[in-house]
Amino acid sequence: MTANTETRLQITRENADDITYQNMFWLFMLGNVAGVLLEGIWCFARFHRWESHVVTVWGPFCLIYGVGVVILYIAAAKLKRHNIVVRFLAVALILDAVEYFCGWLIDFGLGMKAWDYSHEFLNVKGRICFFMTLVWGAAGILFARFCMPAVQKMFRKIHGRRWKVACAVLSVFMLVNLSVTAIAMVRWSARHENIAASSYIGQLADRHFNDEFMQKRFMEWSFIQ
């Protein structure tokens, strides 16, 4: 084994050691917030208005970006020894699969859509498209090249009891947030079908997360029928 090979293996092992729940949770949360900011900036630049593309009833969180950043980091750490083509294709296909699954889940579970690539070249049911596949692959290469050092530096600074407690508290908050969001989404879809709430939780959701709130909060979402 050559010295260069040993060095690459050592770096790969060190990167893999960073893949802990706490590190990935903070990266996930950072991606959530960054996604909302990026979407807002994009809408402002393109449509001259700010849009907050959140996907939870509480907080500035866009989960697909959070999941995406975690995947970018893990891919960069695990595929570091592979050539650029393999890394590009791997990230592009993985994120395509995530985006397609999320689009299918929203469609199948709620009868809604949160994005639509139907008018894009080589799209699959409007859930993924060729252009975004290229974007995901490029993002994987650029993240590994320019963002990994900063992220690893961040990981070295967020250890200790206070960070562990904060991680635990925010994990519980996000679990509650996602659970409440799921209930609110299901009731929003049910109200669209004129289905009355049959439980106290459903009635509570109808009261606190009515159609006006949901449409304003999830402004880019729309019902398919």
Q: Are 180 and 204 in contact (CB under 8 A)?
A: no
pLDDT of residue 1: 52
Percent pLDDT > 90 in the chain is 84
Tell me the backbone φ, ψ of residue 58, rounded to 5 degrees: -125, 135
* Residue 91, token pair as written in the block: 């990230």
Q: Look at residue 40 and tell me if it is in a domain.
A: yes
Q: Look at residue 216 and tell me if it is in a domain.
A: no
pLDDT tens-digit series, residues 134-159: 999 999 999 999 999 999 999 999 98
Cα(12)–Cα(78) distance, integer angstroms: 7
pLDDT of residue 31: 96
pLDDT tens-digit series, residues 55-88: 999 999 999 999 999 999 999 999 999 999 999 9
Q: Structurally, how many domains does the chain consist of? A: 1
Q: Look at residue 48 and tell me if it is in a domain.
A: yes
pLDDT tens-digit series, residues 28-44: 999 999 999 998 898 88
How far CA 30 is from CA of 3, 65, 128, 163, 175, in Å, comes to 36, 9, 24, 14, 16
Q: Look at residue 39 and tell me if it is in a domain.
A: yes
Q: Look at residue 181 and tell me if it is in a domain.
A: no
Query: Which residues does residue 113 pair with via DSSP β-bridges, in sequence order?
Result: 222
Q: Look at residue 212 and tell me if it is in a domain.
A: no
Percent pLDDT > 70 in the chain is 92
Q: Look at residue 224 and tell me if it is in a domain.
A: no
Q: Which of 49-53, 189-193, 216-220 has the weakest average pLDDT?
A: 49-53
Q: Look at residue 107 and tell me if it is in a domain.
A: yes
pLDDT at 2 over 60: no
pLDDT tens-digit series, residues 159-205: 899 999 999 999 999 999 999 999 999 999 999 999 999 999 999 99
Q: Are 177 and 58 in contact (CB under 8 A)?
A: yes
Q: Domain range holding 45?
A: 3-160
pLDDT band at 21 (very low <50, low <70, confident <90, very high): very high
